[in-house]
Amino acid sequence: MNKYFIILAVAGIAIGAGVVWRMFLLPEEAKPFVSGVERKITVTTGVNQWRFFPEVLEVNQGDKIIMTLVNEDSYDHGIGIDAFGISQRMPANSTITVEFVVTKAGDFPFYCSVPCGEGYTEGEKRTHFDMIGNMHVRSIISETQ
Ligand SMILES: [Cu+2]
């Protein structure tokens, strides 16, 4: 038998199994969900704070997040939200917007993705690595809103 036919047949079976898994076997709460609701959120850096404001974000699964990012510092920051494929530079003294849909529920960390130094703010030493936060995505199934 032609080896290319065998390769194609194996690939076809693998893809078919994946489709069956996602359509029929995947638990309901693990399926990506889109609600069609838009939610506007603003995240700022402050000035020489090495902190995101706010550090905890609460959203509902399926919402389209329109996130306004305000960098008030005179140097660049960035925001990374790995769970939703966000890696966005926040240029100095500027406001930008990113949009994404939170298709899955859970707690997802976000962090500064651009090395931005360190310093003292209100007597406390803070660094780039302190710029972390948590995005809590409420499940459409297991939590009430
Ligand atoms: Cu940083």
Q: How far is the CA of 63 from the centre of ligand 1 (A)?
A: 27
Radius of gyration over alpha carbons of the chain, in Å? Answer: 20
Determine the pLDDT at residue 145.
Answer: 45
Does the pTM of the predicted model rise above 0.85?
no
Chain-centroid distance, C-alpha 94? 21
Per-residue model confidence as pLDDT tens digits over 5-56: 999 999 999 999 999 988 888 877 677 888 899 999 999 999 999 999 999 9
Q: How far is the CA of 116 from the centre of ligand 1 (A)?
A: 4
Determine the pLDDT at residue 128.
Answer: 96
From CA 106, how far away is CA 92, in angstroms rounded?
A: 31
What residue spans define the domains of the chain? 1-31, 38-138
Q: How far is the CA of 40 from the centre of ligand 1 (A)?
A: 23
Q: What 3-state DSSP class applies to 34? A: coil
Per-residue model confidence as pLDDT tens digits over 54-109: 999 999 999 999 999 999 999 999 999 999 999 999 999 999 999 999 999 999 99
CATH class of 38-138: mainly beta
CB-CB contact of 34 with 62 (8 Å): yes
Q: How far is the CA of 39 from the centre of ligand 1 (A)?
A: 25
**What dihedral angle (degrees, nearest 10) is formed by the CA atoms of 89, 91, 96, 98?**
0
Q: Which residues fall inside 5 Å of ion ligand 1, going by CB?
A: 112, 116, 128
